[in-house]
Structure 1
Amino acid sequence: MKAQLVSIMVNDQDRAERFYTDKLGFQVKHNIDVGGARWLTVVPPDEPDGVEILLEPAGYEFARTYQAELYKTNMPFTMLFSEDIHKEYAQLVERGVEFRGEPAETMGGISAVFDDTCGNLLMLMQVTEPA
Structure 2
Amino acid sequence: MKIKLTSVYVDNQENALRFYTDVLGFTKKADFSNGPYRWLTVASAEEPDGTELQLALNDNPAAKAYQEAIFKQGQPAVMFFTDDVKGDYERIKAKGGAFIKPPTEVTGSTIAQLKDSCGNLVQITQLARW
- The alignment's TM-score, normalised by the length of structure 1, stands at 0.94
Cα drift, residue 129 of structure 1: 4.8
Secondary structure of the corresponding residue to residue 126 of structure 2: strand
Aligned residue in 2 for 1:34: 34
Aligned residue in 2 for 1:98: 98
Aligned residue in 2 for 1:61: 61
- Output the aligned Cα RMSD: 1.1
Residue deviations 1:63-97 (CA, integer Å, cap 9, x gap): 10111111111111121111100000000000000
Amino acid at match of 1:46: E
> What CA distance in whole angstroms lies between the structure 1 residues aligned with 2:37 and 2:12?
10
Where do 5+ consecutive residues of structure 2 fail to align?
A: none
Cα drift, residue 57 of structure 1: 0.7
Aligned residue in 2 for 1:9: 9
Aligned residue in 1 for 2:124: 124
Identity over aligned pairs, percent? 38
Aligned residue in 1 for 2:73: 73
Cα drift, residue 34 of structure 1: 2.6
- The alignment's TM-score, normalised by the length of structure 2, stands at 0.95
Aligned residues: 130
Where do 5+ consecutive residues of structure 1 fail to align?
A: none
> Following TM superposition, where does structure 1 have runs of at least 4 consecutive aligned residues deviating by more than 2 angstroms?
none
Residue deviations 1:16-68 (CA, integer Å, cap 9, x gap): 01111111111111001132131111011221111101001112101101111
